[in-house]
Structure 1
């Protein structure tokens, strides 16, 4: 089939002609001369193969084909005008009806999904949030539009992905209340820590973590007895066993009681070696950058996370 160049101005003109039913009225509405509007009608007749408007006394009436096209043309013209104009500067958040998919870890679901949902649903009750699991750090779903926003440690090498830091986290040790490791007044040492039976967290079975590299440098190694896919699993097992685990401080979430180091049957302790901080970020594709609704969503998520975990004072 031969390609045909379509002038979208004809669509708008046809919409006005069918609404007004008059060349003169259509010309006035579009700011054209009557002769220019008559030429446009002639082009529309040639393009559609139909007279569209025919003389009836002193006025004009639409043909059956024009009657058939009227609603469809009006909807198309409205959609074209909506697409080919800048987005509004203001956003009516309360009127939004949209679904956003956010890819997060189990730890985020346990600690921050609730506050995020509360903030979003209060301001925008028409928004549906779909939380998707995070099996890896592949940027493909962001690029393909399957994921609107991702929360976690930056692991993708995709250069176009936009990022904003949410908060900095750090690992904390946990053990059941009255665990022998924490029975005395002496701080946990690298030797006593390494000698414990450990829970390691790994989705793919690779248990090598920064803590292992530091311990190896001291001639020590963790005695790993259990491997689990997520930090919430490690917390549950540590609460009911003799094993200890390392989890991000944020994972303890609502379990934390001010400065109390006892958390619902668990005790937390400082890791006895220096470890790098964990930088948790929001990530999205550039296609979403200028979307007012997406900007509102990511600003809301960022605000909730930063309020929950403000920067630590040096």
Structure 2
């Protein structure tokens, strides 16, 4: 297995320039049908990106690629909460460094007041900045998820939401509509009595599904888990999960996440009767 992985990395390095490597790594992983292969290979990819970042510490594309991969590993393959936090911290560090390389003023604003961050985004930034803003907001969301035991982390959700909403002004369905899925999750964290906006969240989930012709399976799973369970709607919950299980997971840029969504759907559906009793 180690030999095969080494050969794969050599092939990647010889087939493309170093500058294209991060995007090619991300694309190959997201189009992989077997999560076990990604889980086995990801540590080597992480080391490779760490080495590239050490060599080119100010390269924004390498920093963003490292952030994405560490964030994905934290949310999917981490063995325990401690490792998940470590990986999420690394993802956040790389994302912040990339944002600071991109624009120091915006980087500093993420640590200030929410209204000041929003005002800066709306006045000084445009579609050319979408990639880095979305990447940073995604890493931030993952870091918060890994640190839900820290109220200081949870208090930063508003800034993540603001950055995601800003992205939708220019790219409403950025990243295969995953920006809509993020917003759906953010709006369904709490019941209405505690300030949550589940119906707004439902609209985001439905927009993501409509745009991808129902092929973003993780959107279905999170729709069921975040919205249907929150409102105790078993009929919707079970329908969404069964549709996920019946679907073909193969889709450019979503195959891996769709496969993982089907695994999660099976677990959630098996728990349905007990959850809704």
Query: So what's the TM-score if we normalise by structure 2?
Result: 0.23
Higher helix fraction (1 or 2): 2
Higher strand fraction (1 or 2): 1
Structure number with larger C-alpha Rg? 1
